[in-house]
Amino acid sequence: MSETKPMSATHTPTPWRVSGFEQRSGGAGRVIMGDDSFSVAHVMDRTPAENEVDATFIVEAVNSHEALKEQVAWWEEQGRQYVTRIQELESELASCRECRAKIDCLSRSQPKDTAK
């Protein structure tokens, strides 16, 4: 028995654009994208205006996807840097508190100068 390997497929290159809507009998239709007339959605019981709005929304989302992924990655890196800096500052603060406790302890153990 041979194993079937998943096909590696890529999406249609961007940018996408809405190039039309094809109405079919019985209220069905399809939204046509780009010059090669591929369908991005098959729709039922929707008006052509609703289909156009939905198709425009899909195209905008697809065309924005890579830029959004880049922004998310940038913000994630910023978050990692802030967490690292906060950890560094917390460590420095702990060291300062230890020093302060030692200074307080030393000052309490010193005899007070009562001669005036």
Q: Do β-strands 38-44 and 28-33 pair in parallel, antiparallel, or remain unpaired?
A: antiparallel
Per-residue pLDDT band for 67 (boundaries 50, 70, 90) equals: very high
Of 24 and 81, the one with more pLDDT: 81
**DSSP-assigned states of every residue in the chain:** -PPPPPP---PPPSPP-EEEEEE-GGGEEEEEETTTTEEEEEEES--HHHHHHHHHHHHHHHHHHHHHHHHHHHHHHHHHHHHHHHHHHHHHHHHHHHHHHHHHHHHHHSPP----
Mean pLDDT of all residues in 98-105: 90
Domain definitions of the chain by residue range: 18-108
Rounded mean pLDDT of 85-96?
95
The mean of the pLDDT values for the chain is 80
